[in-house]
Amino acid sequence: MSGMWGNKLKISIFGESHGNAIGITIDGLPTGFEINMENILEEMSRRAPGKSKLSTARKESDKPEILSGFFEGKTTGTPLCAIIRNSDMHSKDYGKLKSVMRPGHADYSGNIRYNGFNDYRGGGHFSGRITAPLVFAGSICKQILESKDIYVTSHVKRIGKVEDKDFSEVKLNKDIISELRNEELPLLIKDNEEKMRNEILEAKKDGDSVGGIIECGIIGIQAGIGDPFFDSVESTLAHLLFSVPAVKGVEFGKGFEMASLRGSECNDEYYYDREEVKTYTNNNGGILGGITNGMPILFKTVIKPTPSIAKEQKSINISEKKDESLKIEGRHDPCIVQRAVPVIESVAAIGLLDLIL
């Protein structure tokens, strides 16, 4: 089934945007690991809607209820299952969308795939709402990784035309990671925050939306993790990253820029730092042959503009089999990049822990 993923660590997601609850089952967690619930709630809050003008007005507490696999504050080793109840649904806003397909959404492809039986309200199982359980699972995985001195972080590399600098331009450490985690718009160039906010609010004012790029960095990972070809670090992470709604592109290190460079400009030359092997540059994003080389893992993810916009668009009515104009109503994010930051970190942590286990 498409709702299941993993080898050593297995996850299974379930639920719909306007159903009673969404949730996840995690199998393969280490036994006896003490989970910091306060930390989980902080991570959930980073993704949660309704906190500012930059996101949808839908308000959800996103507090997970753990049903199994957790006893006296620690993992039992059996499957850990948690649900997140939905509460602030305006399902009436979606009545027309049973027949009229929203451009940029999975309405049409999902209708065809499931013979019209899919829950179309709020996007149903295709909704970004389903990423909340991924953040729950990812926050547990991040805690396990951090117990091994491995840290996952992200920043907003770009929103619209406003761009931040790369992780490769700074010395990525725990202090930077801690600082970025507490920001709604985590940036390396702090002066860009107002510009990015204006980019989002201008799109919202125009009845439109805007996309962007998230860069993720992972430090503390030792060399030798991953396998070539089908279980490479890149293929494992890319599989999970492309499972996140709205992700349309992934690159590691210099990525697509390598097409215009020569080998001498792409190669990462080695040196010894006492007993530790390092490279002068990190153009390959810490991965060679699908295996970590000990340098920070660096990758970027492209998030498309939110497809639900207030502007009138051309569409089709599949019940009446005719062309029809559509103006989408309801509550929607003018930009989902900032809310996607903890989601990208979470799936990266899930994938990395699976490789390490």
- pLDDT tens, residue by residue, 197-237: 999 999 999 999 999 999 999 999 999 999 999 999 999 99
The token pair that represents 59 in the structure block: 């308000």
Strand 212-219 versus strand 151-159 pairing type: antiparallel
Residue with the bigger pLDDT between 55 and 296: it is: 296
Q: What is the pTM of this model?
A: 0.94
pLDDT of 124 above 90: no
List the CATH number of the domain containing 211: 3.60.150.10
Known binding residues for FMN: 125-127, 289, 304-308, 331
- pLDDT tens, residue by residue, 305-330: 999 999 999 999 999 999 999 988 87
pLDDT of 185 above 70: yes
What total number of domains does the chain contain? Answer: 1
Which pLDDT score is estimated for 170? Answer: 93
Distance of alpha carbon 299 from alpha carbon 339, whole angstroms? 18
- pLDDT tens, residue by residue, 252-263: 999 999 999 999
**Range(s) of the domain holding residue 101:** 4-356
For the segment 30-41, the average pLDDT, to the nearest whole number, is: 97
Residue 243's SS3 state is coil
Which pLDDT score is estimated for 157? Answer: 98
Residue with the bigger pLDDT between 340 and 62: it is: 340
Of 95-109, 178-192, 276-290, the range with the lowest mean pLDDT is 95-109
Give the CA distances from residue 105 to residues 153, 186, 246, 318, in Å, rounded to whole numbers and listed in that order. Answer: 29, 27, 9, 15
Name the band, by pLDDT with cuts 50, 70 and 90, for residue 98.
Answer: confident
pLDDT of 121 above 80: yes
Distance of alpha carbon 335 from alpha carbon 55, whole angstroms? 7
pLDDT of 2 above 80: no
Beta carbons within 8 Å of 179's beta carbon, 6+ residues apart: none
Known binding residues: 47, 53, 125-127, 289, 304-308, 331
Which pLDDT score is estimated for 294? Answer: 98
Known binding residues for NADP(+): 47, 53
Distance of alpha carbon 108 from alpha carbon 123, whole angstroms? 11
- pLDDT tens, residue by residue, 75-87: 999 999 999 999 8
| Ramachandran assignment for 255, one of left (phi > 0), alpha (psi -120 to 50 degrees), beta (any other) | left
The Cβ of residue 212 has, within 10 Å, a number of other Cβ atoms equal to 26
Name the band, by pLDDT with cuts 50, 70 and 90, for residue 91.
Answer: low
26 contacts 137 by C-beta, under 8 angstroms: yes
Which pLDDT score is estimated for 324? Answer: 96
For the segment 46-74, the average pLDDT, to the nearest whole number, is: 82
pLDDT of 183 above 80: yes
Name the band, by pLDDT with cuts 50, 70 and 90, for residue 58.
Answer: low
Average pLDDT, rounded, for the chain: 93
pLDDT of 109 above 70: yes
Residue 77's SS3 state is coil
The token pair that represents 269 in the structure block: 């030359």
Name the band, by pLDDT with cuts 50, 70 and 90, for residue 271.
Answer: very high
The token pair that represents 328 in the structure block: 């989408």
Which pLDDT score is estimated for 50? Answer: 63
User: pLDDT > 70: what percent of the chain?
Assistant: 95
Distance of alpha carbon 296 from alpha carbon 177, whole angstroms? 13
